[in-house]
Amino acid sequence: ETGVTQSPTHLIKTRGQQVTLRCSSQSGHNTVSWYQQALGQGPQFIFQYYREEENGRGNFPPRFSGLQFPNYSSELNVNALELDDSALYLCASSSGTGGSNEQFFGPGTRLTVL
């Protein structure tokens, strides 16, 4: 059974650019949550997707958007990148009804904005 995978592992962007991060959920999981972890902080909830629909959002501006595909993989898009967007982005997948079961995290994508 393949776990949660994320791509790319690292990337560097400049301020104002746009970025797309990808997450493949664990087999059988229908829910994906995205988190941002700044240096020295805990993960902060961005949003969750359940069966291709957004199922809750944290305190992040609209330039953070997402998608979930029929195979339950997911993308996180960030427009108009700012320096403060530099962080580790984690996705987590789970089964059940909208995150009601244990979630499994991927290793994360390290984004650096210059």
Partner 1 sequence: DQQVKQNSPSLSVQEGRISILNCDYTNSMFDYFLWYKKYPAEGPTFLISISSIKDKNEDGRFTVFLNKSAKHLSLHIVPSQPGDSAVYFCAASESRNWGKLQFGAGTQVVVTP
Nearer to partner 1, 32 or 78 (CB): 32
Q: How far is the CB of 2 from partner 1 (least distance, A)?
A: 14
Question: Whose CA is closest to 24, among 113, 114, 105?
Answer: 105
Name the residue nearer to partner 1 (CB basis): 3 or 16. Answer: 3
How far CA 21 is from CA of 2, 5, 34, 77, 97, in Å, comes to: 19, 11, 10, 6, 24
In the complex, the residues that contact partner 1 under the rule CB under 8 A are 4, 31-33, 35, 40-45, 48, 55-56, 58, 90, 92, 94, 98-108
